[in-house]
Structure 1
Amino acid sequence: MDVLADVLATTGFTGALLAQLHSNGSQWGCDLDKGGIAGFHLIADGACWLQTENMAPIQLVSGDVVLLPRGTPHQLLGSPGAETRPYSDIEAENPPGRTGVVDMGGDGPPVRVVCGKFQYATSTDRHPVLSALPEVVHVPGMAADPQLQSVVRFLAAEATNSLPGSRAVATRLTEVLFILTVRNWLERVGDADSGPSWLTALRDPDIGAALSLMHEQPQEDWTVESLARTVAMSRPTFARRFKSTVGASPLAYLSRVRLEQAARQLRDTNDALGIIARNVGYASEYAFSRAFTRELGVPPSRYRRTANVDA
């Protein structure tokens, strides 16, 4: 099973376009604080700078993609040291309207930045993919793989297209953009730079295979021994390597997989709690309800009612 695809599907992960920033100069800057909402910037034309409280400004040029997985407050600048204003003030003065373009003004080389956000319906506050990424993921356009650059160009074009369905196409492409950017990051990041997580553990063929089994067959009565046996490792070696690469024990990770998949079924189906419990590997509805309530803070039935109201 494709573990990354399963996690994104299980957590209801989707992308959305927000606006496009357009300027014809370098003396502009805006403060962006989306209250912890994960987002991205795609540099469609020109160049600008990105800065956060904890990092020096980095230059972004046409074709670059930047993910902000935790919605870190940041600034986009026409040039380092440019005066900044809250984005909300700029948008109020220059409403995007049907075009979705927020005009920053200026008189100089054109700059166009496509901005978007990511949403999810996960049952926990921390999304399993977003929380495994650094605060800022910058993929330089010139260093990106051809597939990613094709999506970058396609999304940049559709974002300004007035043809029927262009907005829907661009919205779908935001999710493709996210996956390809994460994949590119995984190829470039070193273990020392990322720390243990299930996401970086996908690069380990043996541990990745064990993760795939858990996601594909959460209902199985997995033990550390049986998981180790499926990837042809001894129990002590498997347990030690799993913990060091994933950052959690095999059974703790399995429990999270089961509860996330259960949460998805509670949101998306009308199946009885007993059926969902068996689907994700619990011997009884009681055991499932206890585990769900302990980890998520609410009983499954209440979670289902709340999810349906929010939807």
Structure 2
Amino acid sequence: MDILTEALSSMRTGQPTSVRTEGRAPWGLRLPPVAGAGFHVVLYGTCWLVPLDDAPGLAPVALSPGDVVFLRDGRGHILADHPDTPAVPEQPDQFRPSLPIGTVSIGGDGPRTSLLCGNYHLDQGRPHPLVRQLPEIIHLPTRHGRHPELSAAVQLLGAELENPRIGSTGIVPALIDSLLLYILRAWFEDRPAATAAGWAAALGDAAVAPALTAIHEAPSTAWTVESLAGRVGLSRAAFARRFTNLVGEPPMAYLTRWRMTTAARLLRESEAPLTTVAAQTGYGSEYAFAKAFKREYGQAPGGYRREARTA
């Protein structure tokens, strides 16, 4: 069971959207907040990412060719050739839909910068704790041999966008979709083992990682703290303490969270009757499941399904 993939899939509310940005100095583009997580890939040239005034503690980030930047909460920000360059609002009507992705051009006649910009549609109302613990901005340089898989994905994207050919319309969105996993894998693997904390440590922990895998693989199992501790060879108290310290909540609280997350996905994405959803998420009756779901989501499962289908 791939916990990272499962966690991200649980938050997905749609396919990623993207646009290629071509800037020639002087240029500055103000990007509004998005419902999800934002990303930028520098395909050519250099630029700056400048957080807006409502982001105290976040400093401008210098970006170079091959760099990837990920914005956890899709916060508004500015891209520019220099932090002091005035920025104009994004203009969607400048997109050119004849290409595999939209394109926007901006600026004067100075040095050129080419970026892939976009966002992943993620449910930020109920973020998975793995995502919630990420830094607000992740900056990953891929030059000099760092993150070879991520670098390869960036190079493939650049090649497809520079020279669209047969199949590009399908290849580009698939690469963008995969990019999110490459970004987060690179960030997690960058954490030194001695200093890793939270989910960065939990995913590699000899006791917590197998317990998380067990919960994700079989949320319908009647897990207890004792049974999970027994699987990893720890006492109940030692396991509960270790799990809570790394994951951020006790084992049974996380089990309930994952059961409800799984139930919500089944309600959104399948026609399974409520009795089946209840059974697949560890509830012995439709009534017990509906009660737990309403406590977690504030509405009955049937109402949630109808609302999700009409959103």
| Structure 2 match to 1:308 | 309
- The code of the aligned residue for 1:2 comes to D
- Partners of 1:241 and 1:272 in 2: how far apart? 37
- Partners of 1:37 and 1:216 in 2: how far apart? 26
- Partners of 1:186 and 1:227 in 2: how far apart? 25
- Partners of 2:41 and 2:269 in 1: how far apart? 32
What is the CA deviation profile of residues 60-81 of structure 1, one whole-angstrom value per residue up to 9, with x for unaligned ones? 0110001112011111110121
- Partners of 1:200 and 1:266 in 2: how far apart? 32
CA 1:15–1:273 in structure 2 vs 1: closer, same or farther (change >3 Å)? closer
The offset of 1:279, in angstroms, is: 0.9
**Matched length:** 303
Is 1:71 the equivalent of 2:70?
A: no
- Partners of 1:262 and 1:244 in 2: how far apart? 26
| Structure 1 match to 2:64 | 61
- The code of the aligned residue for 2:86 comes to E
Contact 2:35 2:121 in 1 (8 A): no
The offset of 1:218, in angstroms, is: 0.6
Residue ranges of structure 1 left out of the alignment (5+ in a row): none
- Aligned to 1:118, the other structure's residue is in SS state strand
| Structure 1 match to 2:43 | 44
Contact 2:38 2:75 in 1 (8 A): no
- Partners of 2:169 and 2:65 in 1: how far apart? 21
What is the CA deviation profile of residues 234-263 of structure 1, one whole-angstrom value per residue up to 9, with x for unaligned ones? 111100000000000000000011111111
- Aligned to 1:142, the other structure's residue is in SS state coil
CA 1:262–1:95 in structure 2 vs 1: closer, same or farther (change >3 Å)? closer
Superposition pairs of residues 64-143 of structure 1, within 5 angstroms: 64-88=67-91, 91-92=92-93, 94-99=94-99, 100-120=102-122, 125-128=125-128, 129-142=130-143
Is 1:5 the equivalent of 2:5?
A: yes
CA 1:195–1:85 in structure 2 vs 1: closer, same or farther (change >3 Å)? farther
Structure 1 segments of 4+ aligned residues over 4 angstroms from their partners: 190-195
TM-score calculated relative to the size of structure 2? 0.90
Contact 2:28 2:107 in 1 (8 A): no
- Is the deviation greater in 132-141 or in 102-111? 102-111
CA 1:36–1:270 in structure 2 vs 1: closer, same or farther (change >3 Å)? closer
Contact 1:23 1:105 in 2 (8 A): yes
The offset of 1:97, in angstroms, is: 4.2
What is the CA deviation profile of residues 179-216 of structure 1, one whole-angstrom value per residue up to 9, with x for unaligned ones? 0110111122368988634x541121210110000000
Contact 1:15 1:172 in 2 (8 A): no
- Partners of 2:143 and 2:9 in 1: how far apart? 30
- Aligned to 1:274, the other structure's residue is in SS state helix
- Partners of 1:289 and 1:79 in 2: how far apart? 54
- The code of the aligned residue for 1:77 comes to A
What is the CA deviation profile of residues 259-306 of structure 1, one whole-angstrom value per residue up to 9, with x for unaligned ones? 111111112222211111111111211111111000111100111111
Superposition pairs of residues 149-168 of structure 1, within 5 angstroms: 149-168=151-170
- Partners of 2:161 and 2:182 in 1: how far apart? 18
- The code of the aligned residue for 1:225 comes to E
- The code of the aligned residue for 1:87 comes to E
TM-score calculated relative to the size of structure 1? 0.90
Contact 1:29 1:83 in 2 (8 A): yes
The offset of 1:14, in angstroms, is: 5.2
What is the CA deviation profile of residues 152-192 of structure 1, one whole-angstrom value per residue up to 9, with x for unaligned ones? 11112223443233132111111211101101111223689
